């Protein structure tokens, strides 16, 4: 059967303020091509740029655009996934009251159905998809090993035991701000008003600093890229988190204090997510997570430290639930492509 | 068709430290009988008391026990709903490491399948069930009115529009402690380790009082019956919340301050639940909620007050999402009976 005959390929785009990342997913859910372009601001630039990204990544994978089963978009801003519209995506230069993005893009890609989703939601769906497939592969390899090194069967049978344990997670985005996307029991949780996962604006300190949202002591004021920059402004032209962690590693005691306070705040966000939703995994993503294992290590240390005073917290094994977002694929674009399958 | 021939009647029990409440649900999900007994502590007392409650409530509804499709139990303590076992239900006098409650009770009620669930989870399921049915009835009555006062058709068609909007809620139990149960998109959310909804132990004030859990400034230290009692000890033999609200109503300024601080803490719990799970409704239950509309009023006032400083919070319309748990039926027992249908 030819690729186009399958009709189950989908494309996902993660549209950010500076770049568009795209991924082509094959019918088995494997990423077979990716693309990266600069974002052109404004409604027309956004739609034509997205259309070109779809064509590019489909072509890279040898798939006709018109043969795609669907396209998914992840976009910052207020998204109505039912109507496929976006409101006030100001960092994309879209000031329209309501931009019918799904409809406009669909018209540019031969009528292929387009779904639009919040950027955190696609990231959560993508992380669940990628981690679940990795676990599947590991499981198959292990079973093949046990069977004497024979080839594992090709079916995606990891879900056959009903576990799908990675499809229960929060994607905790440590970007400029702090927010999360939730996949619970395999389902994207949007919430009644699309506000699920907006933990950045939960106050955690009555005496904390004022937040632009109007409240005081919001979690985002302690656990976000912006909070880190305020506490440790970049002095050497690198991103503030990189400079902070370098200084701490070099033994700068002030940097160690700032780093550990930040790690404690991220750990508090993890604790909050688990004590409300009890997600199996919390995946650290966003710009600050580019620090990689160095970040993971200090956050896990902070979680173990918090658990020392509380047997109850200890029983939740929070440190073991945290992991880094996969970096070998554009997770949010993959999530958008997964949602494109359901379009 | 005879009642017993239907085989879709279920019984639910809400087993607390002092009393057992029971409900018989008919095949349409209507409560047709209820029962109330004292709890007998210890494993044997618990099982035989539960068996008698099942027999009593079934008999009240004219249903043979052996004709029941299932029995559901809601119980405080650490419940494993898969195995039907309960651990350390100390306030029921059960100190066994693991009591196979479902199996033991099933043997006493003619082999009818028994499911066991956490008390907060059954309360959330029950509240969703009762509120959804009430909304259904209201919708039918309205349609019947519009149709010129003719009789509405009997089918439970309220869900036909796919809304089921009341099946998305948090049951916020203001009991001795503070915790919640979650029904998200119509599904009970237990979480990876059964800890979903345990918001009482989220720290919200770094300088707050120590919590028995080992942490400091947990939300439960501000928004629970125990917190109220500490702030306003009963002096006239009534429950502390009743005395506090009476004093505040009578103009005692100190009482007004304590009451409003409590309302603000409950409002914070509501805000926290919505900013993580974005549940459509937050239902106030537990002992303190017996205050009724007086409690609802001050919590809604506090939510409006909090929203004044934040357009973001205001957009979430938190005050409109809060309601009181239904009191005309034993909600938790009803929820247990609903889960008994799936046993």
CB contact under 8 A, B279 and A202: no
Check CB contact of B306 with chain A, cutoff 8 Å: yes
B37's enclosing H/E stretch is: strand B31-38
Domains in chain A, CATH or no CATH each: 3-123+330-340 (3.30.420.40), 169-324 (3.30.420.40)
Closest Cβ opposite residue A202 in set B215, B271, B315: B271
Q: Among B148-152, B290-294, B296-300, name the one with the lowest average pLDDT.
A: B148-152
The Cα–Cα gap between A73 and A22 comes to: 9
CB contact under 8 A, B199 and A276: yes
Asked whether the predicted pLDDT for residue B154 surpasses 80, the reply is no
Q: What is the mean pLDDT of residues B212-228?
A: 96
Nearest Cα to B168, choosing from A74, A41, A191, A170? A191
Nearest Cα to A180, choosing from A220, A221, A131? A220
CA distance B108 to chain A (A): 32
With a CB-CB cutoff of 8 Å, which residues 189-228 of chain B face chain A? 189-199, 201-207, 213-215
Q: What is the mean pLDDT of residues B310-334?
A: 95
Q: What is the DSSP letter of A221?
A: G
Stronger pLDDT, B162 or A104, i.e. the higher one: A104
- pLDDT above 90: percentage of residues in chain B: 81
Asked whether the predicted pLDDT for residue B211 surpasses 80, the reply is yes
Identify the pLDDT of residue B7.
53
Q: Cβ atoms within 10 A of the Cβ of A139, count?
A: 17
Q: pLDDT (tens digit, 9 = 90+) per residue, B68-108?
A: 999 999 999 889 999 999 987 778 888 777 899 999 999 99
Identify the pLDDT of residue B144.
79
The Cα–Cα gap between B306 and B313 comes to: 8
Nearest Cα to A324, choosing from A284, A297, A290? A284
The Cα–Cα gap between B27 and B40 comes to: 30
Q: What is the mean pLDDT of residues B215-234?
A: 97
Q: Is A155 exposed, middle or buried (0-12, 13-18, 19+ CB in 10 A)?
A: exposed
Q: Which value, to the nearest 10 degrees, does the dihedral of the CA atoms of residues A185, A190, A192, A194 take? A: 160
Q: Are the beta carbons of A255 and A185 closer than 8 angstroms?
A: no
A262's enclosing H/E stretch is: helix A253-277
Task: Please spell the DSSP secondary structure of B264-284, one letter per residue.
Answer: HHHHHHHHHHHHHH--SEEEE
CA distance A243 to chain B (A): 28
With a CB-CB cutoff of 8 Å, which residues 29-68 of chain A face chain B? none
Q: Among A109-113, B6-10, B33-37, name the one with the lowest average pLDDT.
A: B6-10
The Cα–Cα gap between B100 and B111 comes to: 14
Asked whether the predicted pLDDT for residue B204 surpasses 90, the reply is yes
Identify the pLDDT of residue B150.
47
Q: Are the beta carbons of A122 and A326 closer than 8 angstroms?
A: no
Identify the pLDDT of residue B148.
65
Residues of chain A scoring pLDDT < 50: 1-5, 150-162
Closest Cβ opposite residue B205 in set A197, A206, A276: A206
- Per DSSP, helices labelled H in chain B are 3-6, 43-60, 101-108, 119-146, 225-231, 240-249, 253-277, 293-308, 311-315, 318-321, 331-340
CB contact under 8 A, A271 and B202: yes
Residue with tokens 């502590």: B41
Identify the pLDDT of residue A1.
37
CB contacts, 8 Å: B310 with chain A: 201, 213-215
Identify the pLDDT of residue B134.
87
Q: Are the beta carbons of B284 and B323 closer than 8 angstroms?
A: yes
Q: Is the ipTM of this complex over 0.90?
A: yes
pTM value is 0.92
CB contacts, 8 Å: B205 with chain A: 204-206
Asked whether the predicted pLDDT for residue B8 surpasses 80, the reply is yes
CB contacts, 8 Å: A182 with chain B: 277
Q: Are the beta carbons of A278 and B190 closer than 8 angstroms?
A: yes
Which residue of chain A has the CA closest to B269?
A202
């Amino acid at each position: 059967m030819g690729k186009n005959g399958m009709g189950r390929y989908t494309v996902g785009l993660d549209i950010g303020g500076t770049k568009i990342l795209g991924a082509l997913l094959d019918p088995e859910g494997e990423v077979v091509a990716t693309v990266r372009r600069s974002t052109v601001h404004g409604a027309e630039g956004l739609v034509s740029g997205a259309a070109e990204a779809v064509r590019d990544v489909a072509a890279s994978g040898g798939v006709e655009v018109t043969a795609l089963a669907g396209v998914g978009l992840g976009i910052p801003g207020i998204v109505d996934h039912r109507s496929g519209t976006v409101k006030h995506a100001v960092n994309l230069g879209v000031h329209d009251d309501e931009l019918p993005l799904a409809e406009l893009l669909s018209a540019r890609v031969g009528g292929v159905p387009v779904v639009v989703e919040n950027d955190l939601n696609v990231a959560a769906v993508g992380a669940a998809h990628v981690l679940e497939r990795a676990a599947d592969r590991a499981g198959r390899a292990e079973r093949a090993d046990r069977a004497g090194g024979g080839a594992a069967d090709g079916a995606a049978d990891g879900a056959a035991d009903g576990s799908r344990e990675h499809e229960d997670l929060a994607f905790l985005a440590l970007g400029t701000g702090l927010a999360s996307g939730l996949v619970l029991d395999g389902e994207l949780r949007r919430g009644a008003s699309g506000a699920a996962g907006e933990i950045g604006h939960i106050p955690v300190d009555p005496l904390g600093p004022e937040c632009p949202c109007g409240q005081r002591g919001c979690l985002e004021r302690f656990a976000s890229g912006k909070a880190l920059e305020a506490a440790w402004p970049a002095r050497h032209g690198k991103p503030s988190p990189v400079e902070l962690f370098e200084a701490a590693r070099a033994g700068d005691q002030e940097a160690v204090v700032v780093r550990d306070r930040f790690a404690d705040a991220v750990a508090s966000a993890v604790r909050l997510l688990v004590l409300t939703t009890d997600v199996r995994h919390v995946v650290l993503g966003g710009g600050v997570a580019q620090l990689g294992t160095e970040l993971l290590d200090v956050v896990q240390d902070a979680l173990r430290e918090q658990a020392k005073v509380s047997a109850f917290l200890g029983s939740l094994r929070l440190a073991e639930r945290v992991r880094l977002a996969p970096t070998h694929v554009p997770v949010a674009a993959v999530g958008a492509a997964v949602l494109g399958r359901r379009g």
